[in-house]
Structure 1
């Protein structure tokens, strides 16, 4: 039984007792209390309806968000599967003088001469001799699987 139904039952009991709500102080009090209970019952029903509606909206938003996450993170997963650095703007190489690992921008590679920031020595990087362990000719020096290409 809902609160509104309980309040209606209480109101029916009060009417069945034939309480004088106009002359009796107790009757007036009971009548006002029942009126307040009716308003509270209606408010609670409205809140319950709003809660159900909000729950449905949250479920719909959650489903939409799941679809967006799947689309966004699936693209990231596809990027992670491609281990080739050939398309990156940065390359790693080792300084032949000091052995320091250098991260080189692709635009620096076009100049042909690299200056090591550690030992300050300049050296030329010949990409034509470098290839991956699997024999690819990309010249990137990485160890990746080109079977996906």
Structure 2
């Protein structure tokens, strides 16, 4: 039972204990006011229940949305990352992406210190093997 409902019940009991005469205008007014307060208390109680249900639904939707965003954005980032590299110049670790590598170059720039980092292609996948054969 909500606090408001308890307070209205107290007022009802107080009015009954005072033996308010509802044949008088004042008695009719007080009883009508207590009935309205009781209706309001019931409505507030219903609203609180609905609000709790909505809060649970919003929390559930928020969790689903966070999971969806994590899956959507993390997978996209992972697809673009080739490797994690530690710069030999500044010792900072960063993700090496395809955008950072020029296909004809044997080096790339560190995003932190902007020094060139040399590398050798050491891959034995079919695509790289075919490229090597075509070069020869």
Would you call these one fold, judging by a TM-score over 0.5? yes
Higher helix proportion, which one?
2
For the pair 1:19 / 2:33, whether they are aligned, the reply is no
Matched residues in 1 for 2:7 and 2:120: separation? 82
TM-score by length of 1: 0.57
Unaligned runs of 5+ in 1: 86-91, 93-129, 140-149
Matched residues in 2 for 1:30 and 1:84: separation? 79
Q: Is the 8 A contact 2:20 2:27 kept in 1?
A: yes
Question: Which one has a bigger Cα radius of gyration?
Answer: 1
Matched residues in 2 for 1:84 and 1:17: separation? 85
Q: Is the 8 A contact 2:80 2:98 kept in 1?
A: no
Matched residues in 1 for 2:120 and 2:51: separation? 63
1:105-137 deviations in Å (ceiling 9; x for gaps): xxxxxxxxxxxxxxxxxxxxxxxxx74414445
Tell me the CA shift for residue 51 of structure 1. Answer: 1.2
TM-score by length of 2: 0.62
1:9-29 deviations in Å (ceiling 9; x for gaps): 1011101111111x2000000
Match of 1:84 among 98, 102, 105: 98
Matched residues in 2 for 1:34 and 1:131: separation? 86
Aligned length: 95
Unaligned runs of 5+ in 2: 83-96, 107-118, 122-127
For the pair 1:10 / 2:11, whether they are aligned, the reply is yes
Matched residues in 2 for 1:15 and 1:44: separation? 24
Matched residues in 1 for 2:98 and 2:40: separation? 66
1:4-58 deviations in Å (ceiling 9; x for gaps): 110011011101111111x200000001000000000001111111111111111
Matched residues in 1 for 2:65 and 2:98: separation? 31
**Alpha carbon RMSD of aligned pairs, Å?**
2.2
| Residue aligning to 2:111 | none
